[in-house]
Amino acid sequence: MKTSVFCGFAFAAVVAFAVSAHEGHEKAKAVKAKAETISASEIKWGPVPPALPPGAQIAVLHGDPFKKQVFALRLKMPDGYKIGTHWHTQDEQLTILSGTFMLAMGDSGAEPHALEAGAYHFLPGKMRHSASAKGEVVLEMHGMGPFDIHYVNPADDPSKGAAAAK
Looking at the structure, tell me whether residues 68 and 127 fall in a common domain: yes
- Asked if 104 contacts 111 with a C-beta cutoff of 8 angstroms, the reply is yes
Looking at the structure, tell me whether residues 131 and 100 fall in a common domain: yes
Looking at the structure, tell me whether residues 9 and 52 fall in a common domain: no
CATH code of 79's domain: 2.60.120.10
Looking at the structure, tell me whether residues 125 and 56 fall in a common domain: yes
Which structural domain range is residue 117 located in? 40-165
Looking at the structure, tell me whether residues 54 and 10 fall in a common domain: no
pLDDT score of 5 more than 60:
no
Mean pLDDT of the chain: 83
Looking at the structure, tell me whether residues 146 and 67 fall in a common domain: yes
Q: Percent of the chain at pLDDT above 70?
A: 76
Task: Tell me the per-residue pLDDT of 121-154, one tens digit each, with 9 for 90 and over.
Answer: 999 999 999 999 999 999 999 999 999 999 999 9
Looking at the structure, tell me whether residues 126 and 103 fall in a common domain: yes
Contacts of residue 120, Cβ cutoff 8 Å, sequence gap at least 6: 93, 94, 95, 96
| Amino acid found at 64 | D
Looking at the structure, tell me whether residues 10 and 62 fall in a common domain: no
pLDDT score of 37 more than 70:
yes
Looking at the structure, tell me whether residues 113 and 46 fall in a common domain: yes
pLDDT score of 20 more than 70:
no
Residue 32 has a pLDDT of: 60
Task: Tell me the per-residue pLDDT of 55-77, one tens digit each, with 9 for 90 and over.
Answer: 999 999 999 999 999 999 999 99
Task: Tell me the per-residue pLDDT of 146-166, one tens digit each, with 9 for 90 and over.
Answer: 999 999 999 999 998 754 443
The rounded Cα 98 to chain-centroid distance in angstroms is 20
Looking at the structure, tell me whether residues 23 and 70 fall in a common domain: no
pLDDT score of 96 more than 80:
yes
The domain tally of the chain equals 2
Looking at the structure, tell me whether residues 145 and 124 fall in a common domain: yes
